[in-house]
A and B are shown apart, each in its own frame.
Chain A
Amino acid sequence: MAFVSLEGVGKTYRGRTGAWEAVRDFSLDLAEGEFFCLLGTSGCGKTTVLNMVAGFEQPTAGRILLDGRPVDRPGADRGVVFQGHDSLYDWLTALDNIGFGLRLRGLGRSERRAKAEHYLTMVGLTGQGAKHPTELSGGMKQRIQIARALANDPRMLLMDEPFGALDAMTRAVLQGELSRIWAETRKTVLFITHDIEEAVALATRVGVMKRGPGGTLKAVIPVDLPFPRERTSDAFMAVFREVHALIHDEIHGAH
């Protein structure tokens, strides 16, 4: 049995201007420990898929199972890293942000601090724990978000274009760090992106979505390349071209 199963999942929003089908008949199985990148153009419904797995939104068709149990609400077993950094708590220090989930579970102050320090170090921010989010750069904030999600020891990580708002250099550095962290923790990851290179650099499998409305999974490409990945290698470029061809059709309208 798959760790996470999306079975014919659909999502239709109904509003004053009529119905909008964001996702149609989306089926996917995720194995425990894999790094799955969901790749698609903007408006294809990829974030909606993540929001449904997170339990923020409910499918209007099909179902989502985690370890065989239906997902119907957000839970501590699925840590989420959001695209923007508005999810951090400005009134808490970086360390207290990381330890927030542990505080919810009633862990003592010293135990919380020790764990938070561990994850602060893991994301490369040793010594920055006393700062508040407003004093940190965009890249640092995303590191704090990742540390906050990991400190809670979830069974899987859901990442919604976490590096989308960063400059290219910072993005590349954080991609490398995320690969290393994933290798250390072996968490199952569902990673949303519209950046082909990012997907091929990080994923064990890349899922390409058809463009919206009614976005659905078009193809799944396994990426059997060793880590750390050499982005200029022929093998990398071959996968890149394969994925690029699939996405290219979506951008230019051939269905």
Chain B
Amino acid sequence: MRTDGLATAGGYVAGFALLFLVWHLAATVLVSSVLFPPPLPVLERAVVLIEDNILQEQIVASMRRILQGFLIGSAIGIPIGLAIGSFKLIRWLLEPWTEFFRFIPAVAMITVAVIWFGIGEESKIFLIAYTTVFVVVISTAAGVGAVGRDKIRAAQCLGASRLQVFALVALPATVPYILTGMRLAMSNAFVTIVAAELIASNDGLGKLLWDARLFMQVEDIFVALLALGLLGFATDRIFRFLIRAFAGRFNATV
């Protein structure tokens, strides 16, 4: 387990080093234009933005919105998904909703969100929650449907009531599916927050991108892109770890 972890970490470091190397070669040998800066000036710019506390502020602004909207969306999506997965009637009633809204991307809802909530925090949180909710509902419902028949039967012949089957078997068996849905929703949330901040915002990484474009600060654009990639990578690792832990392949007692 431990050597596995080290190997994985080593692989990540090597992978990122390769990414920066390819980036460097592409920007110096292949293109060589002010519009495509190599990694070093971008990192130098990042240090300046960090020293001025600008980058942190934008990251905090974006991540706070993502987290709030994501938690609200999950808090709504999980119980609805569980209900859809557990009761046929609710499935019949709500499946048209999820199948309808999931094809209206959050980006298309930006206009509506701004009209309803203005350009403040509420509209972004609404959009993130919107983009989260349907993905979480669908994967949670699928998870409930995928609980093995024998797992439920085993509980029944050990004397479980319907409520016990739900709470002690269906729910824990569904957790990996819920986390997978949340993981997908999180990547959607990154897409949505940038789009929303590009169009209407006073701060955040999307705003950083937009301002850098206005003033042709190419390094700033790349700092924002780098920050998005790294944040996304880090949050995704956390979800992968949680999914493995709950799927039982990870043993906390060893």
Binding site for B on A (CB under 8 A): 54-56, 73-76, 78-80, 82, 84, 86-91, 93, 100-101, 103-105, 130-135, 148-149, 152, 154, 158
Q: Is the CB of A87 within 8 A of B148?
A: yes
B155 smallest CB distance to A (angstroms): 7
Decide yes or no whether B31 CB sits under 8 A from chain A: no
Binding site for A on B (CB under 8 A): 148, 150-151, 153-160, 164, 168-169, 172-173, 175, 246-249, 251, 253
- Chain A, residue nearest B165 (CB): A104
A229 smallest CB distance to B (angstroms): 29
Q: Out of A90, A104, A130, which one reaches B155, CB within 8 Å?
A: A104
Q: Is the CB of B158 within 8 A of A76?
A: yes
Q: What residues on A are CB-neighbors of B253 within 8 Å? A: 93, 130
Q: Is the CB of B251 within 8 A of A100?
A: no
Instruction: Using A76-B157, A80-B154 as known contacts, list a sample of 17 further A-B pairs with CB atoms less than 8 Å apart, ordered by residue number in A.
Output: A55-B156, A56-B153, A80-B157, A87-B148, A89-B151, A91-B248, A93-B253, A100-B158, A104-B160, A105-B159, A132-B249, A134-B248, A135-B251, A148-B154, A148-B158, A149-B158, A154-B157
CA distance A40 to B107 in the complex (A): 61
- B-side interface mostly: helix
A87 smallest CB distance to B (angstroms): 4
Q: What residues on A are CB-neighbors of B148 within 8 Å? A: 86-87
Q: What residues on A are CB-neighbors of B150 within 8 Å? A: 82, 84, 86-87
Q: Out of B154, B159, B247, B251, which one reaches A82, CB within 8 Å?
A: B154
Q: Is the CB of B169 within 8 A of A79?
A: no
- Chain A, residue nearest B148 (CB): A86
CA distance A103 to B175 in the complex (A): 20
CA distance A149 to B158 in the complex (A): 7
Q: Is the CB of B251 within 8 A of A131?
A: yes
B154 smallest CB distance to A (angstroms): 4
A77 smallest CB distance to B (angstroms): 9
Q: Is the CB of B153 within 8 A of A90?
A: no
Q: What residues on A are CB-neighbors of B246 within 8 Å? A: 91
A93 smallest CB distance to B (angstroms): 7
CA distance A54 to B175 in the complex (A): 29
Listed by A's residue number, 17 A-B pairs whose Cβ atoms lie within 8 Å are: A55-B156, A75-B159, A76-B157, A76-B159, A86-B151, A87-B148, A87-B154, A90-B173, A90-B248, A100-B168, A103-B168, A104-B155, A104-B168, A131-B251, A132-B249, A152-B159, A158-B157
Q: Is the CB of A100 within 8 A of B157?
A: no
Q: What residues on B are CB-neighbors of A82 within 8 Å? A: 150, 153-154
Q: What residues on B are CB-neighbors of A88 within 8 Å? A: 151, 154
A177 smallest CB distance to B (angstroms): 20
CA distance A134 to B159 in the complex (A): 25
CA distance A154 to B154 in the complex (A): 13
State whether A132 and B159 are in contact (beta carbons under 8 Å apart), knowing that A84-B150, A87-B153, A89-B169 are contacts in the complex. no
Q: Is the CB of A100 within 8 A of B155?
A: yes
B32 smallest CB distance to A (angstroms): 53
CA distance A57 to B175 in the complex (A): 29
Q: Is the CB of A91 within 8 A of B151?
A: no
Q: What residues on A are CB-neighbors of B158 within 8 Å? A: 76, 79, 100-101, 104, 148-149, 152
